[in-house]
């Protein structure tokens, strides 16, 4: 049993009783990474020296009897699209191979104030574009449950690192499912908060109207603690919501009596693996036995979400990624003929195929003559999708379904078919377009591969999402299973 299998409160009790030190926790992490990351490939940059230094400082504070932060001493991995001061941040792109941020993202700064220990930066699909982590410019990540399979993406490194016990928790980012889908594939918990709850300052922008940072953890309790640490208004992000932050841990009651759950028929229909459907039905019966009630509902525009999403997200990406011009940061092409050549060659050499594909799609959708047909049309469909959620969430507290239509697929299986790859996000994308919060929790296995249950809530009602997820988790033991890694 690893120290990382202990509950957060138990870790803190042991620290308080001086049975363990923060350095022990850090060394547990570094040792596990040394043992397993050759196979998994979750890390892009390790900060052993920085982590040991922070651990030493925290141990000093502990000895002096100082107050402990919410995440005191816990080894954390950060997805490599969040700026970390003095620590290389690449977005898994050759373009940023040498990039060392001069400031911390707000979410990272908040982790530091909560006294977590940053272990390093985690692999991802380049610029968070992808659902398998195969778009990393460095190396793929392997699913700890089956090394021939993908961990999901784009936060594949974050989910795999938590599943493999390399870190206590990780931060991921979610634009169309990039926290929830890898969490489902790797058998861990992933929470995408309501759009605007967590500051995006210092998160390298992919699609600004959708991007959101959130925790990837082993259990729901940890997710509540990490969310508590990172949520809140930030004047540095003008889209950050100015809302009161509740005590999320108070949601961890285990009581879901009287909760009303809507189950969209579109989430259990065509294209959903029967084994996934079965696990979800079992989870619904579990909720019933805990005193919640569920009934079938409809989100009629579900089938249009993927098309709308790829137009909108790619359009936003094409605009956001225009900043990578080889002038102020990043890798510049050698011996450019002139300024235009510098831009063109730096971008062409620096970006990988999926990033170029989305820039092309977005540029096309925004270009003169096509804007109304594609971009504006997709924005209008987004309104219809959002209305679907508004209507169901008027009558129900939560919406529940699978996180992904299938368990993790094989590496290489879908790389040549971008459209097929996009379909893996068919159940997470509508939620992103509506901007509402959702969590993926382990709900069992399909032939040894984890299956994720998606619990979706009302805007800024993470409390009810966490309450239901915690009650379900407490009544089951799926989240306690660990992959059999060497």
Partner 1 sequence: MSISVKDVEHVADLARLDLSEEEKDRYAGQLNAILKYAEKLNELDTDGVEPTSHVLPLANVMREDEVRPSWPVEKVLANAPDEEDGQFKVPAVLE
Catalytic residue ranges = 79, 154, 178
- Residue selected from 357, 445, 474, 482 as contacting partner 1 according to rule CB under 8 A: 357
Q: Least distance (Å) from partner 1 to the CB of residue 255?
A: 30
- Residue selected from 196, 401, 407, 450 as contacting partner 1 according to rule CB under 8 A: 196
C-alpha to C-alpha distance for 158 and 78, rounded to whole angstroms: 7
Residue 482 engages partner 1 in binding (rule: CB under 8 A): no
Residue 374 engages partner 1 in binding (rule: CB under 8 A): yes
Q: How far is CA 141 from CA 83, 124, 176, 430, in A?
A: 21, 8, 19, 26
Residue 298 engages partner 1 in binding (rule: CB under 8 A): no
List, in order, residues 6 or more apart from 349 with CB less than 8 Å away: 94, 331, 333
Residue 214 engages partner 1 in binding (rule: CB under 8 A): no
Pick the closer one to partner 1 by CB: 343 or 472: 343
C-alpha to C-alpha distance for 125 and 97, rounded to whole angstroms: 14
Closest alpha carbon to 385 in 308, 297, 465: 308
- Residue selected from 72, 248, 267, 310 as contacting partner 1 according to rule CB under 8 A: 310
Torsion of CA 61, 62, 64, 69, to 10 degrees: 60
- Residue selected from 332, 391, 474, 482 as contacting partner 1 according to rule CB under 8 A: 332
Residue 239 engages partner 1 in binding (rule: CB under 8 A): yes
Pick the closer one to partner 1 by CB: 257 or 328: 328
C-alpha to C-alpha distance for 188 and 53, rounded to whole angstroms: 29
- Residue selected from 16, 281, 339, 371 as contacting partner 1 according to rule CB under 8 A: 339
Residue 453 engages partner 1 in binding (rule: CB under 8 A): no
Q: Least distance (Å) from partner 1 to the CB of residue 68?
A: 32
Residue 216 engages partner 1 in binding (rule: CB under 8 A): no
Residue 348 engages partner 1 in binding (rule: CB under 8 A): yes
Q: Are 39 and 65 in contact (CB under 8 A)?
A: no
Pick the closer one to partner 1 by CB: 20 or 307: 307
C-alpha to C-alpha distance for 292 and 260, rounded to whole angstroms: 6
Query: Which residues inside 55-114 make contact with partner 1, applying CB under 8 A?
Result: 98-100, 102
Residue 386 engages partner 1 in binding (rule: CB under 8 A): yes
Query: Which residues inside 12-51 make contact with partner 1, applying CB under 8 A?
Result: none
C-alpha to C-alpha distance for 135 and 129, rounded to whole angstroms: 7
C-alpha to C-alpha distance for 436 and 233, rounded to whole angstroms: 17
Pick the closer one to partner 1 by CB: 200 or 279: 200
Q: What is the DSSP string of 134-155?
A: TT-SS----BTTBTTB---SSS
Q: How far is CA 420 from CA 157, 169, 306, 453, in A?
A: 22, 30, 11, 22
Residue 445 engages partner 1 in binding (rule: CB under 8 A): no
Place of tokens 């790797």: 186
For residue 418, report the phi and psi dihedrals to the nearest 5 degrees.
Answer: -55, -35
Residue 203 engages partner 1 in binding (rule: CB under 8 A): no
Residues in the interface with partner 1 (CB under 8 A) total: 68
Pick the closer one to partner 1 by CB: 189 or 429: 429
Q: How far is CA 279 from CA 248, 433, 473, in A?
A: 27, 26, 14
Which residue stretch of 58-66, 106-114, 308-316, 442-450 sits at the interface with partner 1 (rule: CB under 8 A)? Answer: 308-316
C-alpha to C-alpha distance for 120 and 176, rounded to whole angstroms: 24
Residue 347 engages partner 1 in binding (rule: CB under 8 A): yes
C-alpha to C-alpha distance for 90 and 121, rounded to whole angstroms: 9
Q: Least distance (Å) from partner 1 to the CB of residue 33?
A: 27
DSSP H stretches of helix in 290-324: 305-320
Residue 384 engages partner 1 in binding (rule: CB under 8 A): yes
For binding to partner 1 (CB under 8 A), which residues are involved? 98-100, 102, 195-196, 209, 235, 238-239, 241, 301, 303-304, 306-308, 310-311, 318, 322, 325-332, 336-345, 347-348, 351, 353, 356-357, 359-361, 363-364, 367, 374, 376-384, 386, 418-419, 433-435, 459
């Amino acid at each position: 049993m690893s120290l990382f299998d202990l509950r957060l409160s138990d870790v803190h009790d042991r620290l308080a009783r001086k049975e363990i030190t923060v350095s022990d926790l850090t060394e547990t992490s570094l040792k596990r990474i040394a043992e397993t990351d050759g196979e998994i490939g979750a890390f892009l940059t390790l900060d052993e020296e920085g982590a040991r230094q922070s651990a030493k400082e925290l141990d000093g504070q502990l000895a002096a009897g100082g107050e402990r932060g919410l995440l005191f001493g816990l080894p954390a991995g950060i997805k490599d699209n969040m700026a970390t001061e003095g620590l290389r941040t690449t977005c898994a792109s050759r373009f940023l191979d040498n990039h060392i941020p001069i400031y911390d993202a707000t979410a990272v700064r908040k982790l530091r104030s909560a006294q977590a220990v940053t272990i390093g930066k985690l692999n991802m699909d380049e610029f968070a574009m992808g659902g398998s982590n195969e778009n990393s410019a460095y190396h793929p990540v392997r699913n700890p449950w089956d090394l021939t399979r993908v961990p999901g993406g784009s936060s594949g490194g974050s989910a795999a690192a938590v599943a493999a016990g390399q870190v206590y928790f990780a931060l991921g980012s979610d634009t169309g499912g990039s926290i929830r889908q890898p969490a489902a594939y790797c058998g861990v918990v992933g929470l995408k908060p309501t759009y605007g709850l967590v500051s995006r300052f210092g998160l390298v922008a992919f699609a600004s109207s959708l991007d959101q940072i959130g925790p990837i953890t082993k259990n729901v309790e940890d997710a509540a603690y990490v969310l508590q640490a990172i949520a809140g208004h930030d004047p540095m992000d003008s889209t950050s919501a100015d809302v009161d932050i509740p005590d999320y841990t108070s949601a961890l009651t285990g009581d879901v009596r009287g909760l009303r759950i809507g189950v969209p028929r579109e989430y259990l229909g065509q294209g959903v693996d029967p084994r996934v459907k079965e696990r979800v039905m079992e989870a619904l019966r579990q909720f019933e036995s805990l005193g919640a009630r569920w009934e079938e509902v409809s989100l009629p525009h579900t089938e249009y979400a993927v098309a709308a999403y790829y137009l909108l997200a790619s359009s936003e990406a094409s605009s956001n990624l225009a900043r990578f011009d080889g002038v102020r940061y990043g890798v510049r092409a050698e011996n450019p003929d002139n300024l235009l050549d510098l831009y063109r060659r730096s971008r062409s050499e620096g970006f990988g195929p999926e990033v170029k594909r989305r820039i092309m799609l977005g540029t096309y959708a925004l270009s003169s003559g096509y804007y109304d047909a594609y971009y504006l049309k997709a924005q209008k469909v987004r309104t219809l999708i959002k209305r679907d959620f508004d209507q169901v969430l008027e009558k129900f507290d939560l919406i529940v379904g699978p996180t992904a239509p299938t368990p993790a697929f094989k590496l290489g299986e879908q790389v040549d078919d971008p459209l097929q790859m996009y379909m893996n996000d068919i159940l997470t994308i509508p939620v992103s377009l509506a901007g509402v919060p959702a969590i993926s929790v382990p709900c069992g296995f399909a032939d040894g591969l984890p299956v994720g249950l998606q619990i979706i809530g009302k805007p800024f009602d993470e409390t009810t999402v966490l309450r239901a997820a915690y009650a379900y988790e407490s009544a089951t033991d799926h989240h306690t299973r660990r992959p059999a890694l060497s």
